[in-house]
């Protein structure tokens, strides 16, 4: 297989795979939540470029000339789409507004620059690319992408860092687990960008095959996790108004007696209603059910009980797990079946919470309890 056939095979295969991934994602998720953004990330910044590479290699000059401005434009869309995807996942009030079109100014500028060239200049640029190098248009496009990479990844990771504390304070176990893969996706994209840019500096024509292969890996991860962790719409939509009101309300000033009373009231409610066994329980929902303002509830738990909402709920779940592990009535239960009974969404979260509380895994703890009994 020659180089031309290799490029053709890689690009045509990647086009097919990415389109199939986007269709699977949208059908499986029924276009819900942030999945429209995920599908856009899969198709928009990638497929037109791969079509351009194929037509260039096959000598389809009319298609190549048509795709030339499009490919130089859409490859500047990936970073803005990743940013909007992140916002859509972690901001319950996010709606796409016209002002957010400003993120796509580089795409519009790239189109204008390329279209300002004559047909002959564009054709010369395409032919020069075949030699394994870029003219000034390609170099400018690379600089734009590099600038976007540093700017948007810095913004994304800063935003995720700021959101981490808020999530642990306010979100339910189910919501947290549904989103925990997204930071990993961003780290994956960042790592792939570094690999791609390093290889591009060494040999520019890796943009005709290496990027495609790495993109399929990243997009497969995106598709799998979007389907495996569907949006918890009911919880998020139900409490978003409460969270907004809480954020706009000044922090309450509570004395120790008030905090003690609030914590007692909340603990009694959780124990009586067994609400902590619900894996979708969030701080906002608990605030609504107890009638205690969310910020007041959070402040009391943090200051008086010296823990956050997540830690309080998980401590009660671990206590329930200990009871089930020792109870003769549930002696036939496996450890894997117990975590769901206790309100944990996943086995890993259950094991981490249990080990944090007891210093041992559930199996080790149960074995030590049996040894003490005998």
Please list, in sequence order, all residues whose beta carbon lies within 8 angstroms of the beta carbon of residue 370, skipping any fewer than 6 positions away.
none
Mean pLDDT of 31-59: 82
Mean pLDDT of 101-122: 94
Q: What is the DSSP letter of 251?
A: P
Q: Which two tokens stand for residue 352?
A: 């981490």
pLDDT tens across 268-300, in order?
Answer: 999 999 999 998 888 888 999 999 998 899 889
- Main-chain phi, psi angles of 148, to 5 degrees: -60, -40
List C-alpha distances in Å: 316 to 172, 177, 268, 346: 14, 19, 12, 16
Sorted by where each starts, the structural domains of the chain and their CATH numbers stand as 3-231 (1.20.1070), 248-373 (1.10.10.60)
Residue 32: what pLDDT? 65
The mean of the pLDDT values for the chain is 84
CA 222 – CA 215 distance, rounded (Å): 10
DSSP-derived letter for residue 342 is T
CA 27/CA 38 separation, integer angstroms: 13
CA distance 83 to 25: 19
| Tens-place pLDDT, residues 133-143 | 778 888 899 89
Q: What is the mean pLDDT of residues 321-329?
A: 85
Measured from the Cβ of residue 200, the count of other Cβ atoms closer than 10 Å reads 18
8-19 pLDDT per residue, tens: 889 899 999 999
Q: In the prediction, which pLDDT does 230 show? A: 64
Six-digit token string for 175: 């919501």
Task: Read off the pLDDT of residues 171-214 as tens digits, 9 standing for 90 and up.
Answer: 666 566 677 788 999 999 999 888 988 887 787 777 778 888 98
Predicted local confidence at residue 356, as pLDDT: 83
């Amino acid at each position: 297989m020659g180089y031309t056939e290799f490029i053709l095979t890689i690009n045509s295969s990647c086009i097919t795979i990415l389109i199939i991934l986007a269709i699977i994602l949208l059908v499986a998720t029924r276009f819900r939540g942030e999945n429209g953004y995920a599908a856009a990330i899969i198709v928009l910044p990638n497929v037109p470029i791969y079509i351009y590479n194929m037509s260039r290699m096959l000598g389809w000059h009319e298609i190549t000339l048509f795709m030339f401005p499009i490919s130089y434009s859409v490859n500047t869309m990936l970073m803005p789409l990743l940013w909007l995807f992140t916002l859509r996942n972690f901001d319950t009030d996010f709606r796409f507004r016209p002002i957010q079109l400003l993120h796509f100014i580089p795409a519009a500028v790239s189109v204008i620059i390329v279209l300002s060239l004559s047909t002959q200049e564009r054709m010369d640029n395409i032919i020069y690319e075949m030699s394994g190098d870029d003219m000034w248009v390609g170099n400018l496009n690379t600089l734009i992408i590099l600038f976007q990479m540093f700017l948007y990844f810095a913004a994304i990771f800063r935003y995720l860092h700021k959101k981490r504390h808020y999530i642990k304070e306010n979100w339910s176990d189910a919501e947290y687990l549904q989103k925990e893969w997204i930071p990993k996706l961003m780290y994956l994209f960042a790592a792939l960008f570094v690999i791609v840019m390093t290889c591009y500096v060494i040999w520019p024509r890796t943009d005709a095959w290496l990027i495609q292969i790495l993109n399929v890996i990243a997009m497969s991860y995106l598709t799998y996790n979007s389907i495996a962790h569907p949006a918890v719409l009911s919880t998020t939509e139900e409490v978003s108004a409460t969270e907004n009101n809480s954020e706009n309300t000044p922090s309450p000033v509570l004395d120790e007696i008030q905090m003690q009373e609030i914590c007692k009231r909340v603990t009694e409610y959780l124990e009586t209603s067994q609400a902590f066994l619900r894996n979708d329980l969030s701080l906002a929902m608990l605030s609504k059910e107890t009638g205690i303002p969310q910020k007041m509830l959070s402040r009391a738990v943090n200051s008086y009980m010296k823990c956050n909402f997540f830690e309080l709920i998980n401590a009660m779940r671990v206590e329930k797990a200990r009871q089930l592990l020792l109870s003769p009535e549930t002696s036939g239960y496996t450890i894997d079946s117990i975590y769901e009974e206790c309100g944990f969404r996943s086995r890993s979260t259950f094991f981490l919470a249990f080990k944090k509380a007891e210093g041992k895994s559930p199996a080790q703890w149960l074995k030590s309890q049996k040894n003490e009994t005998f």
